[in-house]
Amino acid sequence: MNFEYFIAKRIIDNKTYKSSVSAPIIKIGIAAIAIGIVVMLVSIATGIGLQHKIRDKVSAFNGHLIISNFDSNNSQESGAPVSMEQDFYPDFKSVSGIRHIQAVATKLGVIRTETDFEAVIVKGVGGDYDWQYFNEFLVAGSLPDYSGDMSEDVLISQHLAKRMHFKVGDKFITMFRREDDLNKPPRMISYNIVGIYNSGFTDFDKTYMIGDLRHLQRINKWDKNQAGNFEIFLDDYSLLDEKLVEVYQNTPSKLNSYSVEEKYASIFEWIKIFENNIYGIIGVMILVAGINMITALLVLILERTRMIGILKALGSNNWKIRKIFLYNASYLILLGLFWGNLIGLGLLLAQKYFKFIPLNSSVYYVTEVPIYLSVNYVLLLNAGTFIMCLIMLLVPSYLISKIAPVKAIRFE
């Protein structure tokens, strides 16, 4: 058996050790490690969770990559149409990692009722539309189906439904301006509400209504093979920049390609700040936990000064004695990590499944604190905390080499 480990284990198992003067300080050190792990787990899980949730919601309305005509139109409304007769549509085979591509268009409209009116952006989609995200957002009714004949069915947001006092099954008129002659009366479409969604992203919920693309083609006097732009969804979002370059290189020169991060730069710059916050919290927590463990180790060394003197007199070198206390400190760190993970992961799992902590969707774009859990980052965080604390303890353990055996044996 390892001699240093054997001595350290005897010290830990000793009942008098647990009721010694150093016991309260050791408990504070363990508590500091546990609290640090809880705070770090929560900051990472909520920070990354918020990033992913906001990213997914913005992508749900825009796709990961967008292909459109080059024009100066910076509004949310589609400009010059794009032909759907492209080599990359409906399957983008020349670039790997593309999950789906769909043709869409957007147009500004005004909902008019007997008592009120509201401006909206009608997003026209076809039978190729991927409803994956809106399946999650659906709160009432069903998703529309545009794979058959031209349909007046629409999907509206819960925000709009409350604002206009709509419910599933209601019909309403939406007016669209004429692009060919602004002096003529607006074109009108009678829509039927089949579903209501709530993404929690207020800026989009109060803006977008999902309808049949063919209505917008008719109003804009486009051909049936024309759309406003193409939306592309990737298998792996982390490859966004790489795939953007590939898509740009594999589309005609008259078409422009850009990412959702470029379109909503301010939102994505804001959520990137979360990463700096996470790194800052991790650094501070590890520093605080390390300082507390240094204090606990120094108290342990002072409390065992006579034992150190005896071991030195029996021929043990400084490094072997330092290893005894480092083994001891490792046990305390692992104990803190155990309790910290138990409490931290328990809180995160409770929030993930019971959603007891709400958020203001107008500020954070989500209705509750989102949680992202990954075995990889949990293991990496624990390993990193353990190693960093142990490295910090190497310096105070050097104090053992300064203890003289004769003075130490006489130490009271």
Q: What is the residue-wise DSSP string for 331-396?
A: HHHHHHHHHHHHHHHHHHHHHHHH--SB--HHHHSSSB------HHHHHHHHHHHHHHHHHHHHHH
**Cross-strand partners of 208:** 121
pLDDT exceeds 60 at position 51: yes
Rounded distance between C-alpha atoms, residue 195 and residue 197, angstroms: 7
Give the pLDDT of residue 411: 52
pLDDT exceeds 60 at position 321: yes
Express as a percent the part of the chain with pLDDT over 70: 91
Q: pLDDT digits over 31-40, tens only?
A: 889 999 999 9
Summarize the confidence of residues 337-344 as an average pLDDT. Answer: 94
Q: pLDDT digits over 373-411, tens only?
A: 999 999 999 999 999 988 888 887 777 766 766 555 665
Give the pLDDT of residue 113: 84
Cis amide leading into 185 (omega within 30) = no
Half-sphere exposure of 56 (CA within 13 A, CB side): 17
Kindly give, in sequence order, each residue whose CB lies less than 8 Å from that of residue 398, ignoring residues fewer than 6 positions away: 322
Kindly give, in sequence order, each residue whose CB lies less than 8 Å from that of residue 378, ignoring residues fewer than 6 positions away: 41, 341, 345
Q: pLDDT digits over 170-194, tens only?
A: 999 999 887 666 667 788 899 999 9
Cβ atoms within 10 Å of 47's Cβ, excluding its own: 21
Q: pLDDT digits over 216-239, tens only?
A: 999 988 998 999 999 999 999 999
Sole residue written with tokens 């089949």: 194
Give the pLDDT of residue 407: 59
For the four alpha carbons of 259, 133, 161 and 148, in that order, the dihedral sign comes to: positive
pLDDT exceeds 90 at position 123: yes
pLDDT exceeds 70 at position 72: no
Summarize the confidence of residues 165-173 as an average pLDDT. Answer: 92
Give the H or E element holding residue 310.
helix 305-313
Give the pLDDT of residue 306: 77
pLDDT exceeds 70 at position 17: no
Rounded distance between C-alpha atoms, residue 263 and residue 106, angstroms: 15
Confidence of residue 355 (pLDDT cuts 50, 70, 90): confident
Give the H or E element holding residue 251.
none
CA angle, 121 then 100 then 209, to 5°? 15
Give the pLDDT of residue 147: 87
Express as a percent the part of the chain with pLDDT over 90: 42
Give the pLDDT of residue 84: 92
Give the pLDDT of residue 364: 78
* The CA-based dihedral angle spanning residues 17, 21, 26, 28, taken in that order and rounded to the nearest 10 degrees: 150
Give the pLDDT of residue 340: 93
Domain boundaries, the chain: 3-56+268-410, 71-253
Sole residue written with tokens 């602004």: 182
Residue 181 backbone zone (phi > 0: left; psi -120 to 50: alpha; other: beta): beta
Q: pLDDT digits over 250-279, tens only?
A: 998 889 999 999 998 888 988 888 888 888
pLDDT exceeds 70 at position 73: no
Rounded distance between C-alpha atoms, residue 379 and residue 377, angstroms: 5
Best-predicted range by mean pLDDT (209-218, 313-322, 398-407): 209-218
How far does CA 290 lie from the centroid of its chain?
28
CB 229 within 8 Å of CB 104: yes
Confidence of residue 112 (pLDDT cuts 50, 70, 90): confident
Q: pLDDT digits over 286-298, tens only?
A: 888 888 888 888 8
Q: pLDDT digits over 74-95, tens only?
A: 567 887 889 999 988 988 988 9
Of 142-151, 253-262, 318-327, the least confident: 318-327
Instruction: Tell me the pLDDT of the chain averaged across its residues.
Output: 86
Give the pLDDT of residue 389: 87
CB 389 within 8 Å of CB 286: yes
For the four alpha carbons of 166, 169, 172 and 174, in that order, the dihedral sign comes to: positive
Give the pLDDT of residue 406: 58
